[in-house]
Amino acid sequence: MMKSLKLVASAAPVLAAMTLLPVLSFAADSHSCASEEPTAQSYTWNFSREAAGILKDLRADAVHAEAHAATLQSMASANQVSWEAHASELSRIKYEINDMGAKLCRLETIRRVVSPWEQQAIDRSVPEIRLLADNATDALNYLNQHQGEFWEPTYVKYTDNLYNESHQLNQSVRNFEEYAKARSKELKLQKSLEIKAGA
């Protein structure tokens, strides 16, 4: 199960107050995501359109996480940056990860009624977000134990991983979106030219 990061405001050291709580669930634990009973609207709802919108929002979260991870990378190479600044960037990444988790929960709930490309995008996103959360957890643990040692290779590796994984998630979802656009265009051309599928 993926872990979510929670920042608790405190006058004492901020990082000591950061805790990790299991919040999200994935395909293996889909019963943890709250699902509702079908309604009359459920039978006419465009789940595929909803999934496409959620995936777009998921990619926006990944873009924001990538930007904060890039800031962390640059701060890790500068000795003069305070640990509070690092904690602030990590809390922003935590926020994006939590938001992604809520979106994934909804996507997992509607997965069986969306298009094949959306199912693949959901399945690809799950491990990518899990890796992102794991590295955020590792970075927080390091920061809690080694305040002020941001240039150490271990911490630099965590910040690099956060950047690479958020970038990978962004690109992965973008590629699925591009595929969907190309496929839709192809189907429209087939229809307008009256070409049978497979011809």
Per-residue three-class SS string for 97-125: HHHHHHHHHHHHHHHHHCCHHHHHHHHHH
Per-residue pLDDT of the chain (199 residues; tens, 9 = 90+): 444 433 332 223 333 333 333 333 333 333 356 555 655 566 667 899 999 999 999 999 999 999 999 999 888 877 678 888 898 999 999 999 999 999 999 999 999 999 999 999 999 999 999 999 999 999 989 988 887 777 788 988 999 999 999 999 999 999 988 988 888 788 788 778 877 665 5
Query: Which of 60, 10, 84 lies closest to 170 in space, CA to CA?
Result: 60
pLDDT at residue 143 in the model: 87
Domain assignment of residue 138, yes or no: yes
Residue 66, token pair as written in the block: 């990538």
Domain assignment of residue 13, yes or no: yes
DSSP state of 151: T
Domain containing 20: what range? 3-25+48-187
DSSP state of 15: G
Cα–Cα distances in angstroms (integers) from residue 35 to residues 40, 110, 126, 156, in the given order: 15, 9, 18, 40
Domains: count for the chain: 1
pLDDT at residue 34 in the model: 59
Domain assignment of residue 192, yes or no: no
Domain assignment of residue 68, yes or no: yes
pLDDT at residue 76 in the model: 82
Q: What is the CATH number of the domain that holds 150?
A: 1.20.1420
φ, ψ (nearest 5 deg) of residue 18: -75, 125
Domain assignment of residue 169, yes or no: yes
Domain assignment of residue 31, yes or no: no
Domain assignment of residue 43, yes or no: no
Residue 41's CB is within 10 A of a number of other CB atoms, namely 7
pLDDT at residue 63 in the model: 96
Cβ–Cβ under 8 Å, residues 138 and 162? no
